[in-house]
Amino acid sequence: MEHQDKIMPRRFRGGLKLLPNKIQSTLTPIRRVPIPEKLVIPLSQHIGRDAVPLVKVGDDVLKGQPIGAADGDVSAPVHAPTSGTVESIGMHPVPHPGGLGALCVVLRSDGKDHAIDTGLACLDYLSLSPEEIQDRVRRSGITGLGGASYPTAVKMSKAEDRGIKDLIINAAECEPIISCDDMLMREHANDLITGIQIMLHALSAPRALIGIERDKKRAIDALEKALASIGDERIVLRKIYSIYPAGGERQLVQVLTGQEVPYDGFPQDIGYLSQNVGTALAIKHALIDGQPLISRITTVAGKGVHLPGNVEVRLGTPISDLVAACGGYCDGAEAMLMGGPMMGFSLTDDQLPVIKGTNCIVVAGPGELEQTDYVMPCIRCDKCAQVCPVNLQPQELYWQIKGGDLDRANQLSVDGCIECGCCDYVCPSHIPLAQYFRYAKSELRARDRQQEKSQLAKIRFEDRKTRIRIGEDSRQARLAARKKRLAEGDPQERERQIAASVRRAQAKTDTAVEPDKDLSQ
């Protein structure tokens, strides 16, 4: 049975042909990291509002039990990765580009790994409505596992409202070193296809397109075998060129469909929903196995670790345990990144916990990561513009941001930057362009938030002024009416005025004398 159509893969503008550097981490099967004695589970592992604690210090919890509830529409719950006792709840360092901390639940494992009945499983998922499936995905705490960590149920709900032409399954994994999706497809192809089928039903989508790079031959073989055994004609496998960043959401949609996603929009806006293969597998685990998102597959690679590979690890596990499961540090290990060499960020402590977005830990050896503090002036060579996959003018953006003109940078669509790092890679002057763009985007967002607050304060001030004016106008109208009645000689009004004056005078007399004071002294 044929599960590949004959449409030739397209190219997106720009991008880079990079050495994959994935062989070392794909030589061995996925390993399991032992459950640590203590897990630090952040309540902020997703885009949107942090989860709200559901437990208190001293509580005993079971594996899969919710310990943090979603707060608002764009949020996701958090679950206990194993059974144990809540040791503390407080601020702890977490993996973050800015080195920020987050509210975390610290769980002391009891070593039993006893699980709770989550009520998520339904072997006959076709008996569930799309809304019921989305509710179970929401309750399971699943977020995008490709790195963005956007709550999956929210994404699915918005997509269904707009109507979906194709479900896009992102199997590209284009960034060097990272191979967790590759190994997932090799070892869990059948479960992955089941997860895709569940999403097709939940979205009422007619077709799913799996976009996978051509150099992932063993993963392609595994998927073709799984598709042949399952026999679902709605799922189509498309091999794409190995060009970075083909795994970017917008780039993959363009490659597979020929349609461009607006820089200020989302694939859902033009009829497509993109999900990572890890997300699809997590949906299968939730709907079929009844397991919420409490673990993930993570790549551990680099010349600074003895046995590079991929590991399945519980969320909240210290990163040092992942390194230990891969043979420990090599002599000369000098840097650690979360994510790949193009879009990852530095970590300063291996005791930071694994979170939902931890797709890769790079332990770099001597000279493995090219770093330079010697930044030279921009020579306007235009190489950055040639490789930009979203058709920006990085050199012009750089000049505007460096000069402090964020308004002009905004006009030049700096918010469309996907921070892929292509411009950094080719810049002969070693200018950290992506850092400038990241800074500008954060400043513009902060300014927008401040403007929203100022506008809201202005609206409230104007509303208060209106209420005061209306109240004063009403009081003046009552006074005018009263004066008119007095002028017309209304005897009842005169009596009311006299009685009111007597009451006021009596009230002043009563407050002038303290009732408990002995006046005879």
Q: Which of residues 314, 329, 352 is at a domain's end?
A: 314
Based on the fold, state whether residues 36 and 151 are members of the same structural domain. Answer: yes
Domain presence at residue 257: yes
pLDDT of residue 196: 97
Closest CA to 38 of 141, 137, 108: 108
Domain containing residue 238: CATH number? 3.40.50.11540
pLDDT surpassing 70 at residue 520: no
Sheet holding 235-240, edge to edge: 235-240, 208-213, 166-171, 272-276
Mean residue pLDDT of the chain comes to 90
84-95: average pLDDT: 96
Closest CA to 134 of 73, 191, 189, 193: 73
Based on the fold, state whether residues 387 and 306 are members of the same structural domain. Answer: no
Q: Which of residues 278, 299, 314 is at a domain's end?
A: 314
pLDDT of residue 1: 39
Domain presence at residue 385: yes
Retrieve residue 391's tokens: 């058709």
pLDDT of residue 511: 65
Chain segment 96-141, per-residue pLDDT in tens: 887 889 999 999 999 999 999 999 999 899 999 999 999 999 999 9
* b/e sequence 170-188, b meaning 16+ C-beta within 10 Å: bbbbbbbbbbbbbbbbbbb
Instruction: Pick left, alpha or beta for residue 354 (phi over 0 → left; psi -120 to 50 → alpha; otherwise beta).
Output: beta
Domain presence at residue 345: no
Instruction: Pick left, alpha or beta for residue 380 (phi over 0 → left; psi -120 to 50 → alpha; otherwise beta).
Output: left
Provide the residue range defining the domain that includes 223: 24-314
Domain presence at residue 329: no
Q: Which of residues 267, 282, 314 is at a domain's end?
A: 314
Sheet holding 60-61, edge to edge: 38-42, 101-109, 84-93, 60-61
pLDDT of residue 366: 86
**Measured CA distances, 215 to 26, 173, 174, 422 (Å):** 13, 11, 10, 21
Domain presence at residue 419: yes
Residue keyed to tokens 């235009």: 382
446-456: average pLDDT: 88
Domain presence at residue 10: no
138-158: average pLDDT: 91
Based on the fold, state whether residues 307 and 402 are members of the same structural domain. Answer: no
Query: Model-level pTM?
Result: 0.84
Helix 189-203 to helix 217-230 angle (10° resolution) is 60
Retrieve residue 244's tokens: 């970075």
Chain segment 360-413, per-residue pLDDT in tens: 999 999 888 776 668 999 999 999 999 999 999 999 999 999 999 999 999 999
pLDDT band at 491 (very low <50, low <70, confident <90, very high): low
In this structure, which amino acid lies at residue 404? G
Domain presence at residue 339: no
Based on the fold, state whether residues 143 and 228 are members of the same structural domain. Answer: yes
- The mean-pLDDT minimum among 9-23, 108-122, 273-287, 335-349 falls in 9-23
Retrieve residue 150's tokens: 């956007």
361 has which bridge partners? 300, 338
The domain total for the chain is: 2
Based on the fold, state whether residues 127 and 236 are members of the same structural domain. Answer: yes
Torsion of CA 171, 174, 178, 180, to 10 degrees: 0
Retrieve residue 18's tokens: 């990079």
